Structure 1
Amino acid sequence: MHEHPCTRTTASPLTPDAVGGLAANIDGSVLTPSDEGFASAAVGFNLRGGHRPALVVAAASAGDVQAAVSFAVAHGMALGVMTTGHQPFPADDGFLLLTMREMRTVEIDSRRHVAKVGAGAVWSDVIGPAQAVGLAPVNGSAPDVGVVGFTLGGGHSPFLGRRHGWAVDRVVSIEAVTADGVLRRVSADSDPDLFWALRGGRSNFGVVTELEIELFPVTSFYGGGIYFEAEHLEAVLRTFPEVVRDAPDDFTCSVAVMNMPPVPEIPEPFRGRALAHVRVVGLGTDQEVEKQIAPFRAIGTGIVDTIGWHPYAACGSVHSDPEHPFPYEERSTLLSELPAKAVDRLAEIARQGAGGPVTILELRHFGGALNHTPENAAPVAAREAAFSVWGVTVGPPEAVAAGYAELDRTMESMSPWSIGRVSTNFAARENSAEDIFGKQDLERLRTLKRRHDPANVFRVNNHNIAPR
Structure 2
Amino acid sequence: MTTAETLVLRPGDAGYDDETTGFQTGFALRPDVVFTASGPDDVVAAVAHAAAAGLPVGVQATGHGLPDSAEGGVLVSTRRMDTVTVDPVARTARIGAGARWGAVAEAAAPHGLAPLNGSAPSVGAVGYTLGGGLGILAREFGYTADHVRSVDVVTADAVLRHVTADSDPGLFHGLLGGGANLGVVTAIEVGLVPVTRLYGGSLGYDGRVTGPAGIVREYTRWAATVPDTLTSSLAALVYPDLPSMPPHLRGTYLVSVRIAFTGGAEEGERLVAPLRAALGPALSDTVREMPYGDSHTIHSDPDFPHPYYGDSVFLDALDLGGVTELFTACGPGADGMHVVQLNHLGGALARPAPNAVPYRDAAWLVRILSPLGEGGRDAARAHHARAFGAVSGQVMGRSLNFAFGGADRPEGLYDAGTRKRLADLKAAYDPANLFRRNYNV
Q: If the TM-score is normalised by the length of the shorter chain, which range does it land in?
A: over 0.9
CA distance in 1, matches of 2:401, 2:311: 11
CA distance in 1, matches of 2:264, 2:3: 57
Between 1:448-457 and 1:28-37, the stretch displaced more is: 28-37
Q: Does 2:114 align with 1:136?
A: yes
Secondary structure of residue in 2 paired with 1:108: strand
State whether residues 205 and 453 of structure 1, in contact with CA within 8 Å, keep that contact through their aligned partners in structure 2: yes
Q: What RMSD over aligned residues (CA atoms) do the two structures have, in Å?
A: 1.9
State whether residues 226 and 305 of structure 1, in contact with CA within 8 Å, keep that contact through their aligned partners in structure 2: yes
Q: Does 2:439 align with 1:459?
A: no
Cα deviation, residue 162, structure 1 = 1.1
Aligned with 1:69 (options 47, 72, 81): 47
364 and 288 in structure 1: CA distance in 2 versus 1, 3 angstrom threshold: same
Aligned with 2:11 (options 30, 33, 40): 33
Match of 2:307 in 1: 327
State whether residues 24 and 66 of structure 2, in contact with CA within 8 Å, keep that contact through their aligned partners in structure 1: yes
Secondary structure of residue in 1 paired with 2:423: helix
355 and 429 in structure 1: CA distance in 2 versus 1, 3 angstrom threshold: closer
CA distance in 1, matches of 2:170, 2:411: 20
CA distance in 2, matches of 1:86, 1:139: 14
Aligned with 2:293 (options 310, 313, 325): 313
CA distance in 2, matches of 1:429, 1:384: 26
TM value normalised by structure 1? 0.89
CA distance in 2, matches of 1:444, 1:149: 20
Match of 1:149 in 2: 127
Q: Does 2:233 align with 1:254?
A: yes
Match of 1:59 in 2: 37
Between 1:281-290 and 1:397-406, the stretch displaced more is: 397-406
Match of 1:195 in 2: 172
Secondary structure of residue in 2 paired with 1:334: strand
Aligned with 1:337 (options 308, 313, 317): 317
403 and 449 in structure 1: CA distance in 2 versus 1, 3 angstrom threshold: closer
Cα deviation, residue 434, structure 1 = 3.4
Structure 1: runs of 5+ lacking an equivalent: 1-21
CA distance in 1, matches of 2:200, 2:232: 9
447 and 342 in structure 1: CA distance in 2 versus 1, 3 angstrom threshold: same
Matches within 5 A, 1:102-251: 102-159=80-137, 161-230=138-207, 231-234=209-212, 235-251=214-230
How many residue pairs end up in the alignment? 437
CA distance in 2, matches of 1:297, 1:140: 25
Cα deviation, residue 427, structure 1 = 2.0
105 and 320 in structure 1: CA distance in 2 versus 1, 3 angstrom threshold: same
CA distance in 1, matches of 2:161, 2:360: 28
Matches within 5 A, 1:230-379: 230=207, 231-234=209-212, 235-298=214-277, 299-349=279-329, 352-353=331-332, 357-374=336-353, 377-379=354-356
274 and 463 in structure 1: CA distance in 2 versus 1, 3 angstrom threshold: same
TM value normalised by structure 2? 0.95
Q: Does 2:361 align with 1:384?
A: yes
134 and 127 in structure 1: CA distance in 2 versus 1, 3 angstrom threshold: same
Match of 1:15 in 2: none
State whether residues 155 and 429 of structure 2, in contact with CA within 8 Å, keep that contact through their aligned partners in structure 1: yes
One-letter code of the match for 2:369? V
Cα deviation, residue 120, structure 1 = 0.3
Between 1:96-105 and 1:297-306, the stretch displaced more is: 297-306
Aligned with 1:50 (options 2, 16, 28): 28
Aligned with 1:424 (options 395, 400, 405): 400
One-letter code of the match for 1:340? L
CA distance in 2, matches of 1:81, 1:264: 37
CA distance in 2, matches of 1:259, 1:186: 45
CA distance in 1, matches of 2:86, 2:381: 41
Cα deviation, residue 278, structure 1 = 1.3
CA distance in 1, matches of 2:82, 2:180: 18
Cα deviation, residue 346, structure 1 = 2.6
Match of 1:450 in 2: 427
Please list the CA deviations of residues 27-69 of structure 1 after superposition, one character each: whole Å capped at 9, or x if unmatched: x632111112212311221111222211111100111000111
CA distance in 1, matches of 2:17, 2:242: 27
Match of 1:4 in 2: none
- What is the aligned-residue identity percentage? 37
Cα deviation, residue 354, structure 1 = 7.5
Please list the CA deviations of residues 430-452 of structure 1 after superposition, one character each: whole Å capped at 9, or x if unmatched: 35443111111111111111111
State whether residues 323 and 390 of structure 2, in contact with CA within 8 Å, keep that contact through their aligned partners in structure 1: no
Aligned with 2:61 (options 74, 80, 83): 83
CA distance in 2, matches of 1:255, 1:400: 25
Secondary structure of residue in 2 paired with 1:279: strand
Cα deviation, residue 80, structure 1 = 0.3
State whether residues 154 and 186 of structure 2, in contact with CA within 8 Å, keep that contact through their aligned partners in structure 1: yes
Secondary structure of residue in 2 paired with 1:132: helix
